[in-house]
Amino acid sequence: MRTRVTIRPEKPADYEAVIQLNDAAFGQPNEGALVRVLREEAFPAVSLVAVAGDAVVGHILFTPVTAEEAPAGPALLMGLAPMAVLPELQNQGIGSRLVRAGLKACTAIGCGAVVVLGHPEYYPRFGFVPASRFGIRCEYDVPDEVFMVVELAPDALTKCTGLVKYHPAFAEVTDP
């Protein structure tokens, strides 16, 4: 049976629940710490929660990333990370709903494209393709198929190439 959830923007009252959710979903405290730093330092951000009743059961965060070569102007490039769903509610479509709502919210703020470092079997369903197709590569040493991008605005990546860099706090997140 699927849990009924509502997707909405994160509120200050959600902050601690979001930290705990990320730590539980990833099995380590570094993810919650990452969210805390990004919330304070990365602007603009899109942060959404999935709520069942009064409980936060899912979270997704999009924050700005930079590319070595990007055109001047408002073509904002965002990174999707992290995304978390309570372990006991995973595989019920909550993550997919968060991704779709997050991409829509990114489009609404004028974001041209979103990158993700994630599962190559999961993210293509949302339009993500290997970023290397656009001449974009990740600052981290990862396989080509796990660093992906989706254009939200036509031709947003036409002149955006090179190395994509995340907020420095991402470098602090490692597996235990």
CATH code: domain of residue 143: 3.40.630.30
Residue 31 lies in a domain: yes
Coil/strand/helix, residue 136: strand
Classify residue 156: in a domain, yes or no: yes
pLDDT given for residue 1 in this prediction: 52
Residue 25 is assigned to a structural domain of this protein: yes
Locate tokens 């102007």: which residue? Answer: 73
pLDDT score, position 68: 80
> Is 40 a member of any domain?
yes
Alpha carbons 130 and 144: distance in angstroms, whole number: 7
Half-sphere exposure of 111 (CA within 13 A, CB side): 28
Q: Which residues pair with 76 in a beta bridge?
A: 111
For the chain, where are the alpha helices, taking DSSP H only? 15-26, 30-41, 94-108
pLDDT score of 162:
86
| Closest to 82 (Cα-Cα) out of 103, 62, 110 | 62
- Residue 169 corresponds to which amino acid? A
What pLDDT, in 10s, does the model give residues 95-145?
999 999 999 999 999 999 999 999 999 999 999 999 999 999 999 999 999
What's the first-to-final CA gap in the chain, in angstroms?
33
Q: Global pTM?
A: 0.93
pLDDT at 174 exceeding the cut of 50: yes
117 Cβ neighbours under 8 A, 6+ residues apart: 79, 81, 138, 140, 142, 146, 147, 148
| 21 inside domain | yes
1 falls within a domain: no
pLDDT at residue number 176: 41
Average pLDDT for residues 82-103, to the nearest whole number?
A: 96
Name the residue range of residue 95's domain.
6-172
* pLDDT score, position 28: 85
Is 124 within a domain?
yes
Burial of 159 (0-12, 13-18, 19+ CB in 10 A): middle
Q: Confidence class of residue 158 from pLDDT cuts 50, 70 and 90?
A: confident
Average pLDDT over all residues of the chain: 91
Count of structural domains, the chain: 1
Whether residue 30 is contained in a domain is answered as yes
